[in-house]
Structure 1
Amino acid sequence: MIVVDYFLSLGSIVFVPIVLIIIGLVLGQGILRAIRSGIIVGIGFIGLNLAISLISNTLEPAVTQIVERFSFNLTVIDIGSGAAAGVAFSTLVGALIIPSVFALNLLLLVIGFTKTMNIDIFNYSHYAFTGAVVHLMTGSIVLGVGASLIQATWSLLSADYSAKKVQDALGVEGISIPQGYAASTVPLFVLLDKVYNRIPFLRNSKLDLSYLQGRIGMFGDPVIIGAALGLILALLAGYNFADGANLLMSVVAIMVLFPRMVKIIVEGLLPISESAKTFFNKRFKGKEVFIGLDSAITLGLPTTQIVGTMLIPITLVLAVILPGNKVLPLGDLAFVAFFTCMATIIHKGNLLKTVISGVINMIGVLYIASWFAPHFSKLAASGGATEIKGQTTALWNGNVFDYIIAQIGGFGVIGLVVLVILTIPIGLYVKRVTAREKLTE
């Protein structure tokens, strides 16, 4: 456990390359090629972190200013994903979750129940939170860890289901997205996509970025769109010219930098992907294994950035007008692109479908985060967060997998048995779908 904690303390820019170098060596990539691939991916993550820091440093203050300016009267404060993950890992379940989920993942790979090896260990916090809530509700650490393992399994299955779509969108084989929140949105977005295909106006929609640029020229360029969105946010925040101009430039920089950084990550992943294909074709008769990565690698898609920025003011409006919502979006609001990234993948970059799905998803996020607020506040208090007053939550908590598993798991042993029984047919369905995709390649 001490060794695991040490490597996690190194951060994703060191830990992920180390894991990828080891994977590359196991796959027979050769030591120098493996080192190069791992380091290139690490460089890409450094770039992503710099771009994400732009969101934190420029968008978060603007969001805070908008909230204060319009005096939204909501009682539960969104403290953000970073603090929420800290609360989740500080629980008893959180202390057990990393070795438990890692061991489960290896077992499921060996028996063929999943194709994904989830190396996005930092986001195991989602599973820790679900398990901690079930532990809080039932008083049983065994049931809490069991609930966490169920969610980890669902995330792996979701990653398997969406893997080919992710690979097509990013242009790199052998990867998937099991990240705790992104994976939970896949069923909703797939269902909505099927609904859209039954509505002629949406089924025939061609409103992706290339179509937009063809129709309105430079006005469809991500730089121009970013400038327009930055201007809108600056006006809502009541910024003066200097602050508004800085915000505008930062939004445009986010639009430009994310795709560049993702290209660097893809450059590092491609050799590993090719080595994996050769390795498994030779030793396991073509058995596929996907490297499970953080959803941050999808943020380079222009549709995700455009829709994510649009959803910032939209989510604030939803928070105010939705009956029964108690959450004041704050800490996670600047990062809404993470909440809608898989919609871009499922809807193949269609802007109209992604906006509609994003709005529907954020409605669910607000209500689920409201429901979790009492539980989250108790966990935060028990973890020593005495400086937090009143009820708190995070949009990060608005995870439908969290909600379903906590609701059913709250019934104790019977609930956990029900969850296991539900998981088996879900796994068999995903296996059938992915096998059919393999045949049609």
Structure 2
Amino acid sequence: MATLQSWIEFILALGAPVFVPFIMIVVGLFARMKLKEAVSAALTLGVAFIGMNIVVGFMMDSMGPAARSFAQNTGIQLNIIDGGWTSLATLAWAWPLAFFMFPLQLGLNILMLITKQTNTLNVDLWNVWGKILTAVLVLGVSGSIPLAFIVAGLQVILELKLGDVNQKHIYRLTQIPGVTSTHSMTLFGIILYPLNRLFDYIPGLNKHIDANWLKEKIGVFAENHVMGFIIGGLLGLFASYSLQETLLLGVQAAASLTLFPMVAKLFMQALAPLSDAVSEFMRRRFSGRELHIGLDWPIMAGCNEIWVTAIVLVPVTLLLAAVLPGNNILPFAGIINLSLAVPALIVTGGNLLRMILLGLVTTPVFLYIATYFAPIITNLARQTNALDVPAGQMISWSTLEYPVYRYIFTQVAAGSLLGIVGAIVWLGLFSWYVKDMKKRAQAMADDQL
């Protein structure tokens, strides 16, 4: 067991750009791809991950200082450090039982495939840390290791179900065949969906407004590079940058929005041959079944609506952090809220206006739940020595992924009656989401006939 764990830790240390392509080679060979084709597709996938990481990192490095400058200008003084996802991933991996999440996720996935409860094979094992973090938070609230694994196991099941129902919608957005996203951030879509349905009844919000619509209406101002320049320039003004700094930030944002779709094409180039091989393999052995490959969220990163929404919400998030009573976290490392933008993209079908409105409504949820978990995360960090938290301060993540799921089910594990009621309501919303998204997928299929 120790030898196996050391090998897994070695592979994981290489990161998603190496780990996920390695898994894809295994899957490709199992589906009878030729070795050279499987290796070529896997390397292209690795290049896509590296390219996307470079562009995302470049954008974060550009926008982060502007957000910090804006926060300083507003005089915000809050005592919870926003460590972002990397800090909490470090905390998750510091848990001595973290390794056991791998057999739990793989076992549940295989069992659900065999019993036809899912058609999604989740190869995004690198993001197993999200389930580990959920278990760590449950443990921190309830003190129960069995309940920690039960809640994490439920998360595995739910993300596979969402992988199934979201697949057609993700394909329409990305045009990448045979894949879906099994990242657990899609769980926040359960909260966004009722709000999006409410928008159906508000005049002016029942029109689909995406990046392409903007191009038709306002021409060159909706081109990726021009739109990026405008958004970056406005953020520079909010941050009280000099003219030179503002112009540079505008060009950096323009570069980011221009490069995202280019890099996203590499995902299609890498995954299309694998999708064809897996589809043919399933057709021969499981007549009538369609298998989807579950991957990380960057397969959708070519959709500009994600980045426009995330950047527009930066000053909004900082302002809300300053004025919301009871909030104690200063958004910093997690200021680019992909935890909201990605599920909003799926729920709205890429409706940019609705995505931004959903962000305005639900950003306080992220801030308050991040504040709630801060003492628990800080205590765990000090117990494990995984993170160095200065005296008198706490640490959390301002845009904690799927915050409502984590909050509700930690409360259930703690025996809270309010948490149990919340879980019943949440699962009811989950059932509604699954049912309606299936109907939407069928309607899209009928329209194409």
Instruction: Please give the TM-score of this superposition, normalised by the length of structure 1.
Output: 0.91
Question: Helix, strand or coil: the match of 2:205?
Answer: helix
Name the amino acid aligned to 2:118.
T
Q: Residue by residue, what CA displacement relative to the aligned partner does 1:278-320 show, whole Å, maximum 9, x if unpaired?
A: 1112111121222111112212111111111101111111112
Matched, 1:252 2:248: no
**In structure 2, C-alpha distance between the alignment counterparts of 1:141 and 1:72, rounded to whole Å:** 38
Q: Which amino acid aligns with 1:215?
A: K
Whether the 8 Å contact between 2:20 and 2:126 is mirrored in structure 1 is no
1:306 equivalent in structure 2: 308
Q: How far has the Cα of 1:259 moved from its partner?
A: 0.9
**Which residue, 222, 225, 228 being the options, matches 1:223?**
225
Name the CA distance, whole Å, in 1 between partners of 2:181 and 2:254.
26
Counterpart residue number, 2:189: 186
Q: Does structure 2 conserve the Cα–Cα contact (< 8 Å) formed by 1:230 and 1:247? A: yes
Q: How does 1:198-237 map to 2 (within 5 A)?
A: 198-203=201-206, 205-237=207-239
8 Å Cα contact 1:40-1:268 kept in structure 2: yes
Separation of aligned partners in 2, 1:2 and 1:299: 32
Shift of 1:143: 1.6
SS in 2 for 1:311: helix
CA distance in 1, matches of 2:426, 2:235: 44
Match of 1:342?
343
Provide closer, same or farther for how the CA distance between residues 425 and 305 of structure 1 changes in structure 2, counting only shifts above 3 A. Answer: closer
Counterparts of 1:347-362 in structure 2 under 5 Å?
347-362=348-363
CA deviation after TM superposition for structure 1 residue 437, in Å: 4.6
Question: Mapping of 1:40-119 within 5 angstroms?
Answer: 40-119=44-123
**CA spacing shift, 1:59–1:282, aligned 2, 3 Å:** same
SS at match of 1:202: coil
Q: Secondary structure at the match of 2:176?
A: coil
Mapped to 1, the partners of 2:429 and 2:75 lie a distance apart of 48
CA distance, structure 2, for counterparts of residue 421 and residue 35 of structure 1: 46
1:242: how far off?
Answer: 3.8
Measured in 1, the distance between the counterparts of 2:77 and 2:160 equals: 39
Give secondary structure in 1 for the equivalent of 2:204. helix
Comparing 247-256 with 390-399, greater Cα deviation is found at: 390-399
CA contact (8 A) 1:372 1:397 kept: no
Aligned partner of 1:196 in structure 2 is 199
2-side partners of 1:346 and 1:420: how far apart? 21
SS of residue matched to 2:23: helix
Worse overlay, 68-77 or 140-149: 68-77
Aligned-residue offset at 1:137: 2.5
Aligned residues: 438
1:426 Cα offset (Å): 5.8
- Give yes or no for the alignment of 1:139 onto 2:140: no
Q: Which residue of 2 aligns with 1:365?
A: 366
| 8 Å contact from structure 2 (residues 190, 429) kept in 1 | no
Q: Choose the corresponding residue for 1:397, options 400, 404, 423.
A: 400
Give me the CA root mean square deviation.
Answer: 2.8
- AA paired with 1:136? G
Unpaired stretches in structure 2, ≥5 consecutive residues: none
Task: Name the stretch that deviates more: 42-51 or 61-70.
Answer: 61-70
Partner of 1:392, secondary structure, is strand
Rounded to whole Å, the distance in 1 between the matches of 2:160 and 2:434 is 10
- The Cα of 1:258 is off from its aligned counterpart by 1.1
Q: Where does residue 128 of structure 2 map in the other structure? A: 124
Residue in 2 aligned with 1:379?
380
Deviations 1:239-266 (A, max 9, x none): 2344333322221111011111111111
Contact 1:79 1:394 in 2 (8 A): yes
Letter of the 1:359 partner, please give it. Answer: L
Q: Deviations over 1:386-429 (max 9, x none)?
A: 444322110243522211211112229xx99x979997996798
Q: 1:422 to 1:317 in 2, by over 3 A?
A: closer
Name structure 1 gaps, 5 residues minimum: none
Q: Which amino acid aligns with 2:267?
A: I
- Alignment match, 1:171: 175
The residue that corresponds to 1:267 in the other structure is: 269
- 1:419-430 aligned at under 5 Å gives the runs 430=434
Contact 1:347–1:353 (Cα < 8 Å) also in 2: yes
* 1:69–1:425 distance in 2 versus 1, CA, 3 Å: closer
Deviation per residue, 1:97-156 (Å, 9 max, x gap): 223222222222222222222222232222112211222233221221111111222222
Which segment is superposed worse, 31-40 or 403-412? Answer: 403-412
> CA shift at 1:360, angstroms?
2.1
How far has the Cα of 1:430 moved from its partner?
4.0
Question: Alpha-carbon deviation of 1:32?
Answer: 1.6
Displaced runs of 4+ in structure 1, greater than 3 A?
A: 386-389, 418-441
Q: Distance in 1 between matches of 2:435 and 2:365?
A: 28
Distance change in 2, residues 1:38/1:435 (3 Å) = farther
Shift of the 217–42 alpha-carbon distance from structure 1 to 2, 3 Å rule, reads same
Aligned to 2:42: 38
Closer/same/farther in 2, CA of residues 309 and 284 from structure 1, 3 Å limit = same
Question: How far 1:5 moved relative to its partner?
Answer: 0.9
User: What CA distance in whole angstroms lies between the structure 2 residues aligned with 1:201 and 1:429?
Assistant: 23
For 2:307, give the aligned amino acid.
Answer: Q
Q: Which residue of 2 aligns with 1:316?
A: 318
Q: CA deviation at 1:59?
A: 1.7
Identical counterparts, % of pairs: 27
**What do residues 344-392 of structure 1 show as CA deviations (whole Å, max 9, x unaligned)?**
2322222211111122232211111111111111111112024443221
Give the secondary structure class of the aligned counterpart of 1:173.
coil
2:20–2:125 CA contact under 8 A, matched in 1: no
Residues 207 and 351, structure 1, Cα contact 8 Å, conserved in 2: yes
Of 268, 271, 279, which residue of structure 2 is paired with 1:277?
Answer: 279
Which residue is equivalent to 2:163? 159
CA–CA distance in structure 2, aligned partners of residues 8 and 21 of structure 1: 16
SS of equivalent residue, structure 1 residue 176 = strand
1:206 deviation in Å?
Answer: 3.5
**Separation in structure 2 between the aligned mates of residue 320 and residue 379 of structure 1, nearest angstrom:** 27
1:47 and 1:7 map into 2 onto residues whose CA distance is 20
